[in-house]
Structure 1
C-alpha cells in the first residue's frame, strides 16, 4: 500500500535590532522585540492556528487515518510561549491524538552540524529533545537537521546520538536516476535509515499552488492525489516535506489551500493511499540502497547545497567568528550569555548575508552588507562579554582541562540520573507487588 509522509518545518528566529558600532560595550540586549512579536502573532493567526485546526479536523474526520510530523525549533517554541501561547495549546491538542510526531533538530535551527565542535551540535539536539518532552510529553526518535542539511559525516554524528532514522533532501545530483520514493540508508552508518524529500510533489504545494502561470493551475485535491497514485506500484512512500507556512501564509487562505488540504484524506482513501509518520515508515520498510553524500546538501535553491548560508566571504567570516568562541561559551554559566549564544546561532542570520537571492522578502535588512555589519557589531559585544569571564589569554591546556572536567562532571550527573530512575522504577514495582 502506498503511503504519504507529511513533514512540516516550523521556525522563527529572534531577529536583531539595529545595533550600531557605538552600542558595543554599552548595550547588551540585541533583539527587535516589536518585530519578533508582530511576525509571530501574524503567522500564528494566518498559519499556525488555522492549520492546526484543519489538521485536527482531518484526523477526526478520517477516523484517525491522517498523520503528520512536525519539526519545531526551540527558538520558535520560545516565541510561541512568549507571544502566542494558544499555539502551544493547539499543538498539545494535536499531540494528544497520537497521530502527530515531533522530530528532533538543533535547538537554535543552527548550522552547528557544519562546525568543528561536534559537542555543540550534540548539546543543541539534546536541548531541543528536552524542550519537546517538556512541552508535549514525548521524546523525538527521528532527526531532521536544519533545512534538511545532510552529509555522510553528519549521518555518522546523528547515528551516534542514538537516532535510527533521519529526514533529508532527495537531491538529483545525489540520487541520479534513483527515485526518492523509497527508503535509503547512510553509506557509512547502514543502520541509519533515511527518508528523502520528493521535490516535485512537495514543490507543487510550496512553490506552484498559487502560481496563476503554472500550466496545472488550479491544483485540486483529486488531481494531486491522482498524480501520486500514478507513481509506480513499487514506490511505496511519497515524502512531502515543506515549510508549515505553505498553509495560510505563503499560500493565503483565500487561495483555497485549506479546502485543498482538508480534501486530501478523502481522495487518498479512494485511491487506497494512506498516511504515515516517519517513525511508522522506518518501522515498516527496509532500505533499498545506501546513498553517499560527501559534501553537505540541503533543500534550499536549485543547487541543494549550503551556499545560501556559507557561500560568500561575509558569511564565512561571521560563521568562523562565532564558532571561534564555542568552547569558551561552554564554560560560561551565566544564563543570559547562554541564551544569547543560542539566539545568535540561528541560520537565518547567515541567510540574510547571502548575495544569491537579492531582497527575497525574508530579510529585515536592505542588503547583505547591512546584515553582516549589524550581526558583527552584536557579535563583537557578545564576544567581549564571554572574554570578560574567560579571557583569550587562557592557555589552551588550561582551557582543555576545564572542558574535560566539565564534560566528566556532566557524564557523572547523567549516570547518576539514570541510576536514580532505575531505583524509582524498582521502588514502584516493589510497592505494586506488596499491594
Structure 2
C-alpha cells in the first residue's frame, strides 16, 4: 500500500522597509523595528493571502476532515507554521488561528517543528542559534496549538548530515528534505530513509523525501497551459499516485499554492475538494501523517542501503533547479550579508544590559529569515521569475543594498551600546576607586588621631 503524506508550509516573512542609515542615526534600540520592518506592507500582504488562500483552504480541509472522520481511511495532513507567520496572524487575523486549532483537535493533522524565524541558522558553523530557534518554535506550538511536534522540517528543506545530527540529538523522530536524484543513487523517493549519523550509519532519525515531480505538478504546473498534461484533474492525479511504487509518497508544497500561487480561477480549490475521494477510490492508497508513517513503516530506515548521506558541501534544499543552498548563498552579495549577520551574534552576546540584549537579538533574528537572501538571488530566467515573484524589491541588487544597510546600521547600534556600557563601567570603576581611596584616607586620618592621643 502507498500512503500519501500531504505536507504544507505556512509562512510569511517580516519584510524590510527601504532603509537609509541617516534616517535613524540617533535612534535607540527601542525604536529600530519601526525603521527596519515594513509592517504596513506585511499587514497588507497577510490580509490579501488570508482572503485568497488561508481562509478558503482551511474551510475545505476542515470539511474534508469531517467528511472522512468516521471512515476506515481518514483524510490526514501535516503543516509546518513559522513563528513569523504566527506573529502576523495574531496581529492581523486572530480568528484564523482558531481554524488551525480545530485541525489540531481533530487528530487528523500533525504539526511539524522548524526554526521559529524560518532562518538559515542551520547553515551556521555554530549550531547554538539553530537549537535556540527550534526551542522557540516548539514552545510556540505548545502554547498556541497545544501540540508537541515529533517530526522536523528545516527552512526550505535545507538538509545535510550536520543538520540531521542536530535534529536527532534534539529528540525528533523524523525530518523532511528534498528527494533529489543525486542523493538516491537510482532509488525511489517513496520510502522512509535513514540519516547518516557521524561516522556511523546507525541513526534512528527517519528521513522523508519529497516527491518533487508529483508535488510540483500541483504547486507549479497545475495552471500551465503549455504542459502536456494540462488540465490536471483529481482523478488523473490520483491515478498517477496509485501507479507509483513505494511505501510513502510525500507531497510537499507551500500552503499558498492554493488560491495565491494558483488562483481560484484555475480550479485549484475544486481539485483539492475532490482529490481525497479520488485517492481513496484506490484500495492501495491511504493518507497518513508523518508520525503515523514512521510507526507503520518503522525499520525500513535502518537498512544499510537506505541511508541518506549529504555532506555539508553537498547541502540540498527544495529550491530552484539546483536544489542546493545557492538560492540563498549563491552570489557574493548573499554570502557577504550572511557572513556579516553571523558576526553580529558575537557582539550581541557581549551586551551586559539583559533588556537591551533581548531587544537587539529579536531584531537580529528577523534578519536571518531566508526570504531576505532569496530576494538577492541572481539566477537563470526561469528560477529568477520565482525569486522576483516573492520579492518586495524591484531587483536583486536593491534587495542586497537594503539588507546590508540594515545589517550595518544594527551593527553600529550594537557597538554604540557596547561603548556606552564600557564607558559606564569605566566611570563606575573610577567612582568606586575614588570612594575607596576616600575611605582609605579617612581611615588613615582616624588612625593617626588615635595614635596622637
Segments of 5+ residues of structure 2 without an aligned counterpart are 423-453
For the pair 1:380 / 2:443, whether they are aligned, the reply is: no
Match of 1:140 in 2: 149
Mean Cα deviation higher: 312-321 or 56-65: 56-65
Per-residue deviation, residues 43-64 of structure 1 (Å, max 9, x unmatched): 0111111111110001111226
Deviation for aligned residue 1:344: 1.1
Per-residue deviation, residues 119-138 of structure 1 (Å, max 9, x unmatched): 10000000011011110011
Per-residue deviation, residues 195-253 of structure 1 (Å, max 9, x unmatched): 10001110110011111111111111111111111123xx1211000000111111111
Matches within 5 A, 1:298-313: 298-313=317-332
For the pair 1:318 / 2:337, whether they are aligned, the reply is: yes
Per-residue deviation, residues 173-204 of structure 1 (Å, max 9, x unmatched): 11131100001001225211101000111011
Match of 2:243 in 1: 230
For the pair 1:281 / 2:293, whether they are aligned, the reply is: yes
| SS across alignment from 2:106 | coil
Deviation for aligned residue 1:103: 0.5
For the pair 1:73 / 2:82, whether they are aligned, the reply is: yes
Which protein is richer in helix relative to its size? Answer: 2
Match of 2:37 in 1: 31
Q: Report the TM-score when normalising by structure 2.
A: 0.84
Match of 2:178 in 1: 169
Inter-partner Cα distance in structure 2 for 1:376 and 1:41: 28
For the pair 1:292 / 2:298, whether they are aligned, the reply is: no
Note closer, same or farther for the CA distance 1:143–1:172 as it changes in structure 2 (3 Å cut): same
Inter-partner Cα distance in structure 2 for 1:118 and 1:84: 34
| SS across alignment from 2:250 | strand
Per-residue deviation, residues 243-268 of structure 1 (Å, max 9, x unmatched): 00111111111211111111122112
Inter-partner Cα distance in structure 2 for 1:391 and 1:4: 57
Deviation for aligned residue 1:171: 0.8
Match of 1:343 in 2: 366
Inter-partner Cα distance in structure 2 for 1:183 and 1:84: 37
Deviation for aligned residue 1:331: 5.3
Match of 1:209 in 2: 222
Inter-partner Cα distance in structure 2 for 1:34 and 1:214: 38
Larger Rg, first or second structure (1 or 2): 2
| SS across alignment from 2:389 | coil
Inter-partner Cα distance in structure 1 for 2:348 and 2:171: 25
Segments of 5+ residues of structure 1 without an aligned counterpart are 395-435
Matches within 5 A, 1:24-423: 24-27=24-27, 28=32, 29-63=35-69, 65-188=74-197, 190-232=203-245, 235-272=246-283, 273-285=285-297, 286=299, 287=301, 288=303, 289-294=306-311, 295-330=314-349, 332=351, 333=354, 334=356, 335-356=358-379, 357-358=383-384, 360-390=388-418
Contact 1:165–1:194, Cα closer than 8 Å, also in 2 = yes
Inter-partner Cα distance in structure 2 for 1:152 and 1:192: 11
Mean Cα deviation higher: 69-78 or 286-295: 286-295
Deviation for aligned residue 1:110: 0.5
RMSD: 1.7
Inter-partner Cα distance in structure 1 for 2:325 and 2:420: 31
Match of 1:403 in 2: none
